[in-house]
Amino acid sequence: IKKLAVLTSGGDSPGMNAAVRAVVRTCAFMEIECMAIYRGYEGMIEGDFVPFNARSVNNIINKGGTILKSARCEEFRTPEGRQKAYDQLKAAGIDCFVVIGGDGSFRGASIFYKEFGIPVIGIPGTIDNDIFGTQFTLGFDTALNTVVEAIDKIRDTASSHSRLFFVEVMGRDVGHIALNAGVAAGAEETLIPEQNLGLERLLDSLKRSKKSGKSSSIVVVAEGDKTGKNVFELKEYVEKNLPIYDVRVSVLGHIQRGGSPTAFDRVLASRMGVKAVESLLEGKANLMVGIVANEMVLTPIDDAVKGHTKIDRELIRVSDIMTI
Ligand code: F6P
């Protein structure tokens, strides 16, 4: 392998820059050329490549987002689009690449590998923590800390006005951010797609909470939860059926995707970047780097995209006990 490329793809996540830096610096250390591909697969199709050296990634370890830009690319889903991408890689003399992204980005990488045999290693970058083969995805820890900080602030005002707040958090169709944030921020209830509490039980729980002397309440709701149609419907339902509460809704939104990565995400990104390049140099391909029991492990990309990480049942129990 003489020339390796790196790209970020799909929804951005804090820590992606730290991973780009790690890939580029590992290439410099191993004395192989490194190309940055801008705008994900879109840039691959258009040949948006820039040679990077160790100094190209100065001062980015602490930056949120991705300096390489990201895109969700429709054209890469077509055989014609992937053919164009292959032609561009070949023309630039790129032998293999590292893709930093979520399951959609990995699905594309795997199809591309099977069609053209270009070795690829994936680094899981998404705040949702929903990828099989790793206990933590890049950005999850940072997003979680952002959510907890936001809920702490909401708690101040909730408590001053004795209000009930529904706080919607991201996570697509899984509840990892919600469950962990609920425990860390001391929420009264956490609604996640993996465990349907039901509207009746939510009311009972809120009644109990009021009776037990709590004057304000925070309910964390994962965006994928199906207890109500959405947080606004939950608000209406509680206002109608439990008028003792003055209810407000806060949808945290894309604030969760930004910000400087935590130390945990920076360290994880650095370890994953090194492991990804080393794996390619060892002739490995179509695998994703993950962290399990604090060790770097490799999982076939096809397995990584097939299943989600399971929700932590022990944490659900802890959450239930804490809401007494
Ligand atoms: O996958 C990351 C994520 O932030 C999800 O939590 C959320 O559902 C989705 O992306 C939002 O996507 P977009 O940025 O395209 O609105």
> Separation of 132 CA from ligand 1 center, angstroms?
18
Instruction: Single out the residue of 113, 88, 229 nearest to residue 166, CA to CA.
Output: 229
What's the pLDDT score for residue 323? 85
What's the pLDDT score for residue 309? 83
Mutate to test the pocket of ligand 1, among 8, 105, 172 (most ligand atoms within 8 A of CB): 172
210 has pLDDT over 90: no
Give the pLDDT band (50/70/90) at residue 197: confident
* Residue among 12, 128, 130, 141 flagged as catalytic: 128
Measuring from each residue's beta carbon to the nearest atom of ligand 1, which residues come in under 6 Å? 11, 102, 126-128, 170-172, 223, 257
**Binding site annotation covers 73?**
yes
Tokens 């609604």 belong to residue: 191
CA angle 165, 151, 168 (to 5 degrees): 55
pLDDT digits (tens, 9 = 90+) for 34-79: 999 999 999 999 999 999 999 999 999 999 999 999 988 999 999 9
What's the pLDDT score for residue 284? 98
**Binding site annotation covers 139?**
no
**HEC string for the chain:** CCEEEEEECCCCCCCHHHHHHHHHHHHHHHCCEEEEECCHHHHHHHCCEEEECHHHHCCCCCCCCCCCCCCCCCHHHCHHHHHHHHHHHHHCCCCEEEEEECHHHHHHHHHHHHHHCCCEEEEEECCCCCCCCCCCCECHHHHHHHHHHHHHHHHHHHHHCCEEEEEEECCCCCCHHHHHHHHHHCCCEEEECCECCCHHHHHHHHHHHHHCCCCCEEEEEECCCCCCCCHHHHHHHHHHHCCCCEEEEEECHHHHHCCCCCHHHHHHHHHHHHHHHHHHHCCCCCEEEEEECCEEEEEEHHHHHHCCCCCCHHHHHHHHHHCC
Q: How far apart are CA 218 and CA 252, in angstroms?
A: 13
Mean pLDDT of 104-131: 97
Mean pLDDT of 247-266: 98
Under 8 Å CB-to-CB from 233, ≥6 apart: which residues? none
Tell me the pLDDT of the chain averaged across its residues.
96
pLDDT digits (tens, 9 = 90+) for 225-246: 999 989 999 999 999 999 888 9
pTM of the model: 0.97
Give the pLDDT band (50/70/90) at residue 213: confident
What percent of the chain has pLDDT above 90? 91
**Binding site annotation covers 254?**
yes
Q: Of ligand 1's atoms, which has the minimum distance to the CA of residue 172? A: 8
128 is known as an active-site residue: yes
pLDDT digits (tens, 9 = 90+) for 148-177: 999 999 999 999 999 999 999 999 999 999
Mutate to test the pocket of ligand 1, among 8, 103, 127 (most ligand atoms within 8 A of CB): 127
Q: Is the ipTM of this complex over 0.85?
A: yes
307 has pLDDT over 80: no
